[in-house]
Amino acid sequence: MQPRKLVDSASGPDASTISHDRLNWLAFSGGPDSACLLHLLLDAGHGDSLRVVHIDHGLDGESAERARRAVRIAEDLGTACRLERIRIDVRAHPHGPESAARHARYARLCSLMHEGDHLLTAHHADDQVETLLLRLLRGSGPAGLAAMRPRRRFGPGWLTRPLLHWSRERIFGYLAQHRVDYQIDPGNQDLSLDRNYLRHRVIPVIEQRWPACRQSILQSRDWLAAAAEAVDERAQVDLQALGRNPERDCKTLELAAWLALDDARALSVIRQWCRAENLTAPPRPRLQSFRDQCRRLAGDRQPLLDWPDGQIHAHAGRIWLDPKPLPGPTPDTNWDWRKPAELACGGRLLVTGRLENIERAFGSQWRIGPPVDGEKLRTHGRRPRRTIAELLRSGGIPPWRRNAMPCLRIDGRLQAVGPDWLDVDFANWLARHFIELTWQDRPDALKPCRPPG
């Protein structure tokens, strides 16, 4: 497989990264890179679809002044700049203030976007070089060493980088040629940050010995991107094969088949699965540790991998992925069954149908709450009553999700576990009145994997 060819560095912004029918949100710091991109976009006639946003992180005493200057720079170029202020608890983030600010910034920008919108950032070729070197030093795999892509899925739309083929030198030349104002963030000189240390101390030394190192690194990145694409294609095939199970409707993978793969393929499958669910994949060492536990543990032991974006469980011969936030238990509350009941675990419970035909309700006090250990329900007239745990097990809902299942009690008696398991008398009453109990916008994690029995 041949590497993809870089866009000609003499060209303008990469046109494939700019939306022509949706909004383009520009992450604007007012620095040289984003000022150059803003000028290029306005000069190319994208002003009507452009929304410029500056994020003030409030991490230092000068951030408010930099925010005001960024707004002025955008206005001088002929467009408005939206100012968003966020506050970050850097102590709560495990990877330091730079990572905390980046996560918070992207979360706020994502919240502004609508379906199909593009978020444009001004990353350039020198950023690409630094990113590749940083990831190499951190032991990244093929996907990480492919570094930044010009375009990838992001929230409801796309994150794109129109200047990824421009060098820093070309950007400064463009700014000087067109007399575009910009500001310099003093944080870019902080050598305690890995990227700055690499930029100011390491790469200049490498260039003394290998003057063409940047272009060589970018060429290697292209080869790595092609290799990562091939790994992704194989991982997608493996993901589909491991997910085949005619007895289950939920998204799980076959544990034994996953363990039979070699380590590289197995870890790629999990990363591909997380990407399909728009999740950041767990760190490789922790994923490898989870895989080792799955090999060692047997019986009722259930290995768990927990990371900020989600959880992975090994249970009942399958692997389960749960995005965060996880569904929480439903608090015990009264319910006026004529109105939707908003559920803490997600969605709403409704009584739908011919409500006008009801002469009186099935009992006077309706309450929704979490499951209670040992509580039983008779779903068929000739079958014995079964516990909630037995019912949920029959539907393939794993133990760690069961506490979130809403239970309906009428006059103190259990009548329904979700809309799937109904007391036989309650079910008959609903049928006589042409009424259904439904769960609107139900989380996938709380849907039965097998037909309720």
Note whether 15-221 and 243-323 share their fold. Answer: no
pLDDT at 79: 96
Distance between CA atoms of residues 359 and 136, nearest Å? 71
91 or 335, higher pLDDT: 335
pLDDT tens column, 334-348? 999 889 999 999 999
Q: Which of 446, 453, 449 is nearest to 371 (CA)?
A: 446
| Burial of residue 38, with CB atoms counted within 10 A of its CB: 0-12 exposed, 13-18 middle, 19 or more buried | buried
Say if strands 118-120 and 24-27 run parallel, antiparallel, or are unpaired. parallel
β-sheet bridge partners, residue 119: 25, 159
Answer for the pair 114, 105: CB distance below 8 angstroms, yes or no: no
- Ordered DSSP codes for 191-222: TTSHHHHIIIIIHHHHHHH-TTHHHHHHHHHH
Distance between CA atoms of residues 107 and 95, nearest Å? 16
Domain boundary assignment for the chain: 15-221, 243-323, 333-446
Distance between CA atoms of residues 313 and 398, nearest Å? 10
pLDDT tens column, 26-53? 999 999 999 999 999 999 999 999 999 9
Helix (H) or strand (E) holding 43: helix 32-43
In this prediction, what percent of the chain has a pLDDT beyond 70? 93
CATH architecture of 15-221: 3-Layer(aba) Sandwich (3.40)
Q: Which of 48, 26, 24 is nearest to 122 (CA)?
A: 26
11 or 112, higher pLDDT: 112
What CA–CA distances, in Å, run from 48 to 68, 75, 229, 381?
A: 23, 15, 35, 65
Is domain 243-323 classified as CATH 1.20.59?
Answer: yes
**Averaged pLDDT score across all residues of the chain:** 88
Distance between CA atoms of residues 441 and 343, nearest Å? 10
Distance between CA atoms of residues 301 and 299, nearest Å? 6
pLDDT at 5 over 70: no
C-alpha 425: how far from chain center: 43
pLDDT tens column, 121-165? 999 999 999 999 999 998 887 878 888 889 988 889 999 999 999
